[in-house]
Structure 1
């Protein structure tokens, strides 16, 4: 019998996470050691945006370097994990069964996918596929996507949302360290974590109105939408695991959540 997988939300940080020793890449490696090994991964990244939910049927997804102005070494990284077209097709079928129209295309892995996967599964031996997010839709839409995908967890598929728990690049200071964090980032993440721990879904879906500094921390919310899909795919009585890795560039909190874990 396959063990039901936990669902995750990862704050994937700057693209330089794998090569910058000042960033907490080791936290992702340590996190993977607390998790069951999945048969495959379905990841919703903040960096694949479409009008309609779209799954990637790529058998060998390319490594997409979807950023500019970074060190050459970053563009030389390849993450040759196999695709998971069968998982993609299964996800599409589950969504369609709930009346959600779904497109399919052979999409590569953007950095919201391959950066955390590289750190968590460095041997690139776990099949991975992506499901796009819809930045014009709200938190409830993405929560519903996750709900429709719950059955995947019974089949050994790990559903991961990849974004950033706080994400305001206009307020960021790229020379700042964790000691320079904007206190408002902590106020937002403390509220969010408390609501997650209480399983207060209604408040979370209404975070933009209820959470302190919500619009400041997310001028646009594409980096937070993946958490709602991971939350939707979790059990109703999930146990919350929190991995707080600090706040970088003044406003980018590196906090990861596991739904269905005893992670301390």
Structure 2
């Protein structure tokens, strides 16, 4: 069985699902460029749990429209991928083997951090999919450890995705056009992340909040960057890290996509 990379996907605005852009076009091609997964596990910034990661065991996960103020067309979209309770159970066992306690949900559906990129990558919605939460208040290192515990899933035909955003300051987002100019505080942070990822500077990355330029301005809260550390941990030994896509939307949203391993 072909070993899949772990991916970090910047999912940007929900409009990514329907609005033409470089990131939209890239995701349309990305699924076709990879071996078809047996199942998918998504760590989404839009599912936060307290104290421990949570896993979704739903057999028929609903499409969650967890946003407001967008066109009706977005709310009409469904992504009826089957659930993956067996994968969730396997992930729970791997985490527990590493001393990481888990919570379980029988009803959690697919939030837009999951279904927006997956609808572009796998429009047939025929791959069993489960979600894992990020942990509110947990560190990047703790999320790296979660990903590391899940890394062997990649040998079992599972595509592990961290879905968040390389930059995410919504107070600076409103009113911008999709092709708005990119301020230096956004591009400088993105370049720092790219250099540290390509250099496999794990410690600097885990300490990004103190080490990276404009880190807090780009991430007033951390939930949208934490999926990166899950993907980084799942990627294995730090070799073969590649930024496979880079673009910006609305000036302040870096749409970087990274493949690990």
Shift of 1:55: 0.5
1:18-76 per-residue CA deviation (whole Å, 9 max, x = no partner) reads 21235631111122222221110000000000012110001110000001111111101
Give the equivalent residue in structure 1 for 2:147.
Answer: 146
Alignment of 1:1-264 (within 5 A): 2-22=1-21, 24-51=23-50, 52-106=52-106, 107-260=108-261
| Structure 1 unmatched ranges of 5 or more | none
Q: CA deviation at 1:132?
A: 0.5
For the residues of structure 1 that align with 2:178 and 2:76, how far apart are their CA atoms?
26
In 2: Cα distance, 1:243 partner to 1:9 partner: 10
CA deviation string 1:139-171 (max 9, x = no partner): 011000011111111111111000000000111
CA contact (8 A) 1:9 1:162 kept: yes
CA distance in 1, matches of 2:183, 2:244: 19
SS at structure 1 position matched to 2:254: strand
CA contact 1:32–1:121 (8 Å) conserved in 2: yes
Query: What's the TM-score, normalizing by structure 1?
Result: 0.95
- The superposition leaves residues 72-119 of structure 1 with CA deviations (integer Å, 9 ceiling, x where unpaired) of 111010000001110000000000111111111121000000000000
- Figure out how many residues of one structure are paired with residues of the other and give that number: 259
RMSD (CA atoms): 1.3
SS in 2 for 1:46: strand
User: Aligned in 2, Cα 1:245/1:237: closer, same or farther, shift over 3 Å?
Assistant: closer
CA distance in 2 between counterparts of 1:137 and 1:30 reads 34
Checking the alignment, whether the CA contact within 8 Å between 1:11 and 1:164 is kept in structure 2 is: yes
Unaligned runs of 5+ in 2: none
Alpha-carbon distance in structure 2 between the residues aligned to 1:14 and 1:132? 19
1:238 Cα shift? 2.3
- 1:218: Cα distance to partner? 0.4
1:208 aligned counterpart, secondary structure: helix
Q: How many angstroms does 1:245 deviate by? A: 4.0
1:53 touches 1:102 (CA, 8 Å); kept in 2?
yes
Task: Give runs of ≥4 in structure 1 deviating > 4 Å.
Answer: none
2 CA distance for matches of 1:109 and 1:86? 16
SS of aligned partner of 2:17: coil
Given that residues 173 and 250 in structure 1 are in contact (C-alpha distance below 8 angstroms), is that contact kept between their aligned partners in structure 2? no
What TM-score do the two structures reach when normalised by structure 2? 0.96
2:189, 2:214 within 8 Å by CA — same for their partners in 1?
Answer: yes
